[in-house]
């Protein structure tokens, strides 16, 4: 049963990461590509790490081997680090692109003109 739960979580995570890859290739400008790279990969990686945490808790329960708790805690730290740094990196990339003069694809009105 646990293999199915872990498999579903991994499948969801891989699907979101695949959608992010397709979005990076298909979207027209840097801003929409940043959106695909940040949102989808963050969400997909959370599901993949959640599968790791579920599997480590499942293996820890019968014999209380501390190695499984270490794996689960490290996985949780990865999620925390990813959730904190991925939006900041995307914001920095978007701001740098805007400051270098790259305009959004199809933008008619520029509300940020002269603000950055």
Model pLDDT for residues 77-94, shown as the tens digit of each residue? 999 999 999 999 999 999
> pLDDT digit string (tens) for 31-62?
999 999 999 989 999 999 999 999 999 999 98
Predicted confidence at residue 104, as pLDDT, reads 80
For the whole model, what pTM was predicted?
Answer: 0.83
Buried b / exposed e across 80-96, counting CB within 10 Å, b at 16+? eeeeeebeeebeebbee
Residue 114 placed within a domain: no
Total domain count, the chain: 1
Residue 24 placed within a domain: yes
Predicted confidence at residue 110, as pLDDT, reads 67
Predicted confidence at residue 116, as pLDDT, reads 63
29 three-class SS:
coil
Q: Which domain holds residue 11?
A: 2-99
102 three-class SS:
coil
Residue 61 placed within a domain: yes
């Amino acid at each position: 049963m646990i293999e199915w739960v872990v498999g579903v979580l991994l499948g969801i995570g891989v699907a979101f990461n695949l959608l992010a890859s397709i979005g990076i290739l298909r979207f027209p400008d840097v801003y929409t590509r940043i959106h695909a790279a940040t949102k989808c990969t963050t969400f997909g990686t959370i599901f993949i790490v959640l599968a790791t945490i579920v599997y480590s808790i499942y293996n820890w329960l019968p014999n209380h081997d501390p190695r499984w708790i270490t794996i689960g805690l490290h996985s949780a730290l990865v999620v925390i680090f990813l959730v904190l740094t991925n939006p900041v990196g995307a914001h920095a990339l978007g701001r740098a692109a805007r400051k270098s003069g790259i305009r959004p694809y199809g933008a008619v009105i520029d509300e940020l003109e002269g603000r950055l």
